[in-house]
A and B are shown apart, each in its own frame.
Chain A
Amino acid sequence: MTLIDYLTAALLLAGAIFFFAGTVGLLRFPDVYTRLHALTKADNVGLGLMVVALAIQAESWTAVGKLLLIWLLVMLAGASVAHLVARGALRRGVRPWKQ
């Protein structure tokens, strides 16, 4: 294993931890808004770390470009869908959670 491989492994692991945190948040947080908060933020960072991990292994610049495009599109879709879900919940009268 070269240095690049170790770096990839470390980044993948870090990405997996973010995904794990986001999923725990999705399962454990009290209402739809806090769950969205946990899910979208943690998953975007997790995916970003994984994209970087794969990009440094890529054989060509086009592959790097495709990976970055995937990340951008997922962030765009994730942010928009999170907004739409929260908006839908608010319109249906789901109150934000207060302790």
Chain B
Amino acid sequence: METMMVAWMLDSLLGLGLLWLAWRCLACPNLFKAIVLFVAFGLLMALAWVRLEAPDVALAEAAIGAGLTGALLMVALAQLQSIETNGDAAGATEKEERGIRPLQWLLLIVLPLIATGLGYIILSFPPDAPGLSTAVATHLEASGVSNPVTAVLLNFRGYDTLLELIVLLLALLGVWSLGGTVPQQAATPAPLVLETLTRLLVPVLILTAAYLLWVGAHAPGGAFQAGSVLAAAGVLLLLIGRHPRAALMALPLRLILVLGPATFLVIAVVTMLIEDALLKLPPEHAGKLILLLETTAMLSIGATLAALFLGGRRHTDKEHS
């Protein structure tokens, strides 16, 4: 009974913390502060995933939601500020609030109604709904892995992951086709401490990615978490100014980017021809096929996310030079 009480207190505190951080993040006037609060929000979300017994999601959130998204937002804010100092416009500062507008009054009335409705619907859901968990549990034997989340991602609903890899690629194509926005600034040498830290961490991160990929078969982990850890290593290298050479940016990068989706597509077509169903992995080879799919997906996810962080900047460089 007492442990229940403690659990309730912890979960309530966590929930209130999440709401408070989200509110401050969206309401505080300083954009830099807002981004820092968003990163803190991501870390608390990772704790919430652990409380909800979703360690796979927690790992993904810690690497992406708190890490990579924060880095992307910070770089974008820095670029906005440099646009502001180059031009005479106020890109990085928000305009003065113009008092409470009629729209806001309307929202303040309508939104609580929507929220109450949603809350009512959620509370009226039946407390016991096994969903698809029994179906997953019965077929877990044949999936080739023993972590149910990996089984769902790579086997039972492999087409989701295939489409997701393609979405990632499309996002990168979008960023690339928009090109660079800010001229490359004169590169100042990275601080020595950051450089040393990066040199120490990059091997550790690569090892962690390999570990996460391997344990994903039977414990929390997998291609997405491993890929985001790889992307974090790439972001660190980019931060200390280790930009890949132009030759590496052309063909090798593109090959790594399409490696994951291409492997998925090949296996999808082959299984469709042999097993009569898209991505229906034969149970006797499922384990090996999943490892192959996950390794290629990890490389592609890591490369795509790092390339998204690099953005169009390098792209325009090449066109100009």
Residues of A within 8 A of B (CB): 73, 76-77, 80, 83-84, 87
Contact = CB atoms under 8 A, between A and B. Distances in A.
B10 to A, nearest CB: 13
A84 B198 CA distance: 13
Contact of A84 (B193, B200, B204): B193
A83 B197 CA distance: 11
A84 B197 CA distance: 11
Contacts of B196: 80
Contacts of A76: 197, 200-201
Contacts, number: 17
Nearest to A82: B193
A85 B194 CA distance: 11
A66 to B, nearest CB: 10
Contacts of A77: 197, 201
Interface in B183-206: 191, 193-194, 196-197, 200-201, 204
A87 B188 CA distance: 14
Interface of B: 191, 193-194, 196-197, 200-201, 204
A73 B202 CA distance: 12
B240 to A, nearest CB: 11
Contact of A83 (B193, B200, B201, B204): B193
A22 to B, nearest CB: 16
B134 to A, nearest CB: 31
Contacts of A73: 204
A84 B190 CA distance: 10
Contacts of B197: 76-77, 80
B37 to A, nearest CB: 15
Contacts of A80: 193-194, 196-197
Most buried by B among A73, A76, A77, A80: A80
A27 to B, nearest CB: 14
Contacts of B204: 73
Given A80-B193, A83-B193, A87-B191, 14 more contacts: A73-B204, A76-B197, A76-B200, A76-B201, A77-B197, A77-B201, A80-B194, A80-B196, A80-B197, A83-B191, A84-B191, A84-B193, A84-B194, A87-B193
Nearest to A77: B197
Nearest to A83: B193
A80 B193 CA distance: 6
A99 to B, nearest CB: 27
Nearest to A81: B197
Contacts of B193: 80, 83-84, 87
